[in-house]
Amino acid sequence: MGTIIEDANKEATGSALAQKNPKIVFVLGGPGSGKGTQCANIVEHFGYTHLSAGDLLRAEIKSGSENGTMIQNMIKEGKIVPSEVTVNLLLKAIAENENDKFLIDGFPRNEENRAAFEAVAGIEPEFVLYFDCPVEEMEKRLLSRNQGREDDNIDTIRKRFKVFLESSLPVIEYYSSKDKVRKIDSAKPVGEVFGTVKALFTPGQQTAAS
């Protein structure tokens, strides 16, 4: 729970956002499914701004914020950080950016994330990109990517897979029931996957790979 001023600020950010009416695409998929890699390609070709919820949380830890230790502990355990924290970071990043097209990568991770974002931001995603990849392939990628992440060790990776299956897949099912999911097989080489992604962002070909 925030103070009255914090709550008022949040409402102000929310309504400022609704006025800006940005176009939002959620990019979901298990850890190591290729979200970050493909988002970089989409940014380059289609002029979106890439907001990785995980990167925003890691930046928050680095900035020495009062939530830093809590966030760090949750990431180490592969747990989902309280919605309030993540939603605020995302809304701030959107409000501060001049662009009106955003890829939100790695969020919403559970039903509560989804409901909180829609309630506070007052925005629904244009569509949801879902990178579908077998667990064995994702595990291989995570263990070999060497980005110095504290959560890329086998123990945390297994916990992240479990959280993805139990908490994040239901979000994808929710959007699927609203016909908003564009599912892509991301076990293929990067260029091939991007070929499919590209078609989805090219006007007139929206249904090419759904």
Out of 50, 109, 114, 180, which residue is the one contacting ligand UDP (CB under 6 A)? 109
Out of 27, 50, 91, 106, which residue is the one contacting ligand UDP (CB under 6 A)? 106
In angstroms, give the least distance from the CB of 55 to ligand UDP.
6
C-alpha to C-alpha distance for 37 and 22, rounded to whole angstroms: 23
Instruction: Specify the residue, 115 or 199, whose C-beta has the smaller distance to ligand UDP.
Output: 115
- Select the span of 51-59, 117-125, 129-137, 197-205 touching ligand UDP (CB under 6 A): 51-59
Closest CA to 34 of 200, 209, 188: 188
Question: Which amino acid, 196?
Answer: T
Question: Which amino acid, 199?
Answer: A
Q: Binding to ligand UDP by residue 129, rule CB under 6 A?
A: no
Out of 14, 31, 34, 125, which residue is the one contacting ligand UDP (CB under 6 A)? 31
With b meaning 16 or more CB within 10 Å and e meaning fewer, what string describes 147-164?
eeeebbeeebbebbbebb
Contacts of 20 (CB under 8 A, 6+ apart): 94, 95, 100
Q: How many residues does the chain have?
A: 210
Binding site residues, Mg ion, CB under 5 A: 36
Which residues make up the interface to ligand UDP (CB under 6 A)?
A: 31-32, 35-36, 52-54, 57, 74-75, 78-81, 86, 106-107, 109, 113, 151, 160
